[in-house]
Structure 1
Amino acid sequence: MTSECILFNMLTAAVNKVIIDVAFGAFIRASRTSEHL
């Protein structure tokens, strides 16, 4: 594997992690809000 390929894989993994964290955080906030209602 070239260094560019490794860098691209790392970047893709980082983006996927951010998307998962944001989606999970939104899900937690939504569930907490529904509990308060």
Structure 2
Amino acid sequence: MPECGRSKVNVVDIVGEVLQGRTAFVCILQAFKHIKL
């Protein structure tokens, strides 16, 4: 059972990191678009 709880926490952490990474990636893409324009 503790392992299951741990897995859930890890998944949440990973999802959070992915969302943060995606947000940063989108911001970078927008910056490049502004530079091109």
Query: Which TM-score bucket, shorter chain as reference?
Result: 0.7 to 0.9
In structure 2, the gaps of 5 or more residues are: none
- TM-score, normalising length from structure 2? 0.86
TM superposition outliers: structure 1 runs of 4+ over 2 Å: none
User: What CA RMSD, in Å, does the superposition of the two structures yield over aligned residues?
Assistant: 0.6
Query: What's the TM-score once normalised by structure 1's chain length?
Result: 0.86
Aligned residue pair count: 35
Deviation readout 1:1-37 (Å, 9 max, x if unpaired): xx21111000000000001000011000000011101
- Percent identical among aligned pairs is 9
Q: Please list every run of 5 or more consecutive structure 1 residues that lacks an aligned counterpart in the other structure.
A: none
